[in-house]
Copies of this chain bind each other. A is one copy, B any other.
Amino acid sequence: MLSKKTKYAFHALTFLGKNRDQKTVLIQDIAAEYGISHKFLENILLELKKAGILGSKKGKGGGYYLIKEPKDVALSKVIRLLDGPIALLPCVSLNYYEPCVECQSEVKCGLNKVMIQVRDEMLNVLENKSLADILDKE
């Protein structure tokens, strides 16, 4: 399951996507829309900004806005950013690889082989679905 952080990130991105006509949107308005803690959401939006997905404007009249095209915000990108690896095991993660301590030889490990296949099929889905798909269904 995704963490709440990631789920809220998707909600926020959806809200920002729906309000692209506005120059900026307040954290507060997003928090209110979904009943999320303002402060918690603040951290999430900051991470999305640092990742180049959102832009912001400080000071009075400021707020956040979507900097990327919705079709260019893949689900995989948001998940990796806030939740970490998509792979089901550390030993098959492309972005967060770590060997399994209990594993004598990765090359001989059937579980490793199968989980590489699972990872590839999951990535195929998560890299080809994007914020645009979410917005299309709203």
Contacts and interface: CB of A to CB of B under 8 A. Distances in A.
Interface of A: 1-2, 7-8, 10-11, 14, 34-36, 75, 84-85, 87-90, 100-103, 108-111, 113-114, 117-118, 121-122, 125-126, 129, 133-138
Secondary structure of the A contact surface, majority rule: helix
Given A1-B88, A114-B129, A118-B126, 11 more contacts: A1-B87, A2-B88, A34-B102, A36-B102, A75-B118, A109-B137, A110-B133, A110-B136, A110-B138, A117-B125, A122-B122
A111 B1 contact: no
Copies of this chain assembled into the complex: 2
Nearest to A6: B88
A85 B1 CA distance: 7
B2 A89 contact: yes
A101 B133 CA distance: 22
A1 B118 contact: no
A90 B122 contact: no
Contacts of A118: 75, 125-126, 129
A24 to B, nearest CB: 22
